[in-house]
Amino acid sequence: MINIQNLSLRAGVKPLLDSANLAIHPGQKIGLVGQNGAGKTTLFRAILGQVTIDAGNLGMPAEWVIGYVEQETDAKQQTVIEYVSFGDELYAKAIASLKKAEAEHNDNAIVAAYDQLDKLHGYAVENQTKQLLYGLGFSEEDFSKSIDAFSGGWQVRLKLARALMQRSDLLLLDEPTNHLDIEAVSWLKQWLKSFDGAVLVISHDRDFLDQVVQGIAHIDNQKINFYQGNFAAFERQRNERLMQQQALHDKQKQQMQHLKTFISRFKAKASKAKQAQSRVKALERMEMVAAVQASNPFHFEFAEPKSQPDPMLKIENLSFAYPDKPIINEANLTLRSGDRIGLVGVNGSGKTTLLKLIVGELKPVNGKVISARGVKVGYFSQHQLETLRPEWSPLKHLLALEDAPSDQQARDFLGGFGFSNEQCLESIAPFSGGEKARLALAIIVFQEPNLIILDEPTNHLDMETRDALEMALNDYSGALLLVSHDKHLLASIADQYWWVHQGMVELFYGDLDQYLSEQLKRIKQSAEAQKQMEGADDANKSQNKKQQRIENANLRKQLDQLIKADLQRSRKLEKELDKAQGKLGKLHQKMEDSSLYDDANKDELSQCLQQEADCQALIEALEMEWMEVEETIQAKRDEFESGL
């Protein structure tokens, strides 16, 4: 396991972590959360050995392989298949050895290379690569293209796919969903659930964390606090902890006031001077318990629309095509007052193009968009941050709008979006992406639209701002049109979905879970069809390989007999693990009931917590024993292979 003990990290002179502790066990999946700038990415870089540790210890098994998404790549001319499959470094080395042996016409080296590929199950790598690519939204025609043929966002997907191909013991993922559509995010959740290694993932997507992780590491006040369970369990446990902290704080305030009153009354009296002095010391020694702060520093709301024409707009026979690709063909839709529409479809299907046609940034080839009189659109595009003026301050951005507020009104308004008086006057050039996104939202909110169109608004937002945005949108009575890969936000806001696919835009009859289920089924069917098409070719390759090695059926039977008992033990442990994990799941479900935390149920809560701890300990013990049995089986197989 990775053992972080008393770790201290800095970013320049700014302390990020101070005596922080965390343990990451084999196979454990942990979400790393905390406010922007808390040190999450710096911790990743420390694990990778890219930054110097100021104090403490970061212990890691020497044999562990850490997988991560590369920031830059020099392989721009490689094909997609090569680039992603070579994320498996052992496979890449074996292929390199094979190519070298073939170039040198070295028969012995060729046989050795094929042997190495066999041990690595190398003939399955290309198919695994293609399944990864299908899941992340690539088509078969993309596989032979070079990396530099793709835009920046799609190159980020390729880097993620390459990271997932690594034979890693620990996978580090920093906001992996930011450049994915909701369909690819759904697929990634399933992939990570089946991944055998450990995962440490930074994410502000609560639904993603709820589905993937079994623990939350929260960076707060330069410490790392670990919570068992998914993000929902973390919120429940942390709220309980904060409530207890508030109660302790209130009690301590009473004690301190009592001490101060005693000191004030009696410190001047000789007969009480000694007792008063002891209370002064007690007051000095008393550890201050911080009061619970408001859980979210951001709060804003959209004004009630002054008018809501119905229908707000109509799309009639709308068609659009880029020079090399048709996008939308004869779409007919109506957006009515109060509609809350989620726009879904894989990346490249035309969602953003449709929004640009609606707001007039693009002109249709045929058809038209008819807006009702009085429609006022608030539009947040994927590239909204680029429309801000870097040299301007937040205050200047607001004062430059039509119907600009007074200076003080603008400052008060920006304060609701987390901008202090000092920040209101600063140039936004050094602002983070999250701060710029908050400013862009503030500008939209101020203009009081009756139709809000949001295209991936959460890409740069932290959890607190996402929550504030969700609450504001839920309270908004105007019409909404939303594109987002954040399932939690989309499911919370939209009550109907427009599906963009194969040039069509049509109403999807079902909820978001039904839509995603259908898309996952489609991805699996595509991957399975490709697998069947390549089956014959793989069989031929396998046969050629086998002809270069001496098969011995009797030895195979001996091996089966040799590992039979171990395999039986492994299966038994797996059943016990399933049973224990099922029990743990039921406990977590029970602990979701808020009434369990009432004073009357303290004993039952204690029993649940004890059972949870016992269950977790049992699971860890079973996992360790299962791993030992699997290692024994593999060792026997390796010994057999070396004897062939």
Span 424-475, pLDDT tens digits: 999 998 887 888 888 998 899 888 899 999 999 888 787 888 888 888 888 8
Q: Does 275 have pLDDT greater than 60?
A: no
- Within this chain, do residues 470 and 565 fall inside the same structural domain, yes or no? no
Range of the domain at 580: 550-643
Give the mean model confidence (pLDDT) for residues 175-200: 89
Residues 84, 168, single domain; the answer is yes
Distance CA 92, CA 99 (A): 11
Q: Give the torsion sign (CA, 397, 403, 405, 411).
A: negative
* Overall domain count for the chain: 4
Q: What is the pLDDT of residues 90-145, one digit of tens each?
A: 888 988 888 888 888 887 888 888 888 888 888 888 888 888 888 888 888 888 88
Q: Is the predicted pLDDT of residue 247 greater than 80, yes or no?
A: no
pLDDT of residue 577: 85
| Higher pLDDT, residue 89 or 265 | 89
If pLDDT is split at 50, 70 and 90, which confidence band does 231 have?
A: confident
Residues 280 and 226 in one domain: no
> Does the residue 537 lie in any domain?
no
Domain contains 534:
no
Does residue 178 share a domain with residue 45?
Answer: yes
Q: Is the pLDDT of residue 285 over 60?
A: no
Residues 451 and 411 in one domain: yes
Does residue 132 form part of some domain? yes
Q: Residue 289 is which amino acid?
A: V
Q: Does residue 44 form part of some domain?
A: yes
Contact 279, 259 (CB under 8 A): yes
Q: What is the pLDDT of residues 477-536, one digit of tens each?
A: 889 999 998 888 888 888 899 999 888 999 988 888 888 888 878 777 766 666 666 555
CB 229 within 8 A of CB 512: no
- Residue 293 counted as domain residue: no
The better pLDDT of the pair 273, 56 is held by: 56
State the Cα–Cα distance between residues 361 and 384, nearest whole angstrom.
13
Mean pLDDT of the chain, nearest integer: 82
Residues 477 and 562 reside in one and the same domain:
no
DSSP state at residue 183: H
pLDDT score for 535: 55
Same domain, yes or no: 136 and 253: no
Strand intervals (E) in 464-586 = 479-483, 496-501, 504-508
Question: Is residue 282 over pLDDT 80?
Answer: no
Residues 356 and 414 in one domain: yes
- Over residues 540-561, the mean pLDDT reads 53
The pTM for the full model equals: 0.66
Does 417 share its domain with 481?
yes
Q: Is the pLDDT of residue 58 over 70?
A: yes
**Domain harbouring 12, CATH code:** 3.40.50.300
Q: Are residues 255 and 326 in the same domain?
A: no
Lowest-confidence pick of 201-215, 239-253, 272-286, 596-610: 272-286
Residue 374 backbone zone (phi > 0: left; psi -120 to 50: alpha; other: beta): left
Q: Which pair of tokens denotes residue 206?
A: 């609560």
Using the predicted structure, report yes or no on whether residue 78 has a pLDDT greater than 50: yes
pLDDT of the residue at 290:
45
Do residues 207 and 328 share a domain? no
Of the candidates 509, 534, 563, which is a domain's last residue?
509
pLDDT at 287 over 50: no
Shared-domain flag, residues 228 and 244 = no
Which of 268, 285, 302 delimits the end of a domain?
Answer: 285
With cut-offs at 50, 70 and 90, classify the pLDDT of residue 549. Answer: very low
CA 290 to chain centre: 30
223, containing H or E segment: strand 223-228
Sheet containing 504-508: give its strands across: 377-380, 451-455, 479-483, 340-344, 496-501, 504-508
Residue 134 covered by a domain: yes
Q: Is residue 533 domain-resident? A: no
Is residue 541 in some structural domain? no
- Average pLDDT of 351-372? 92
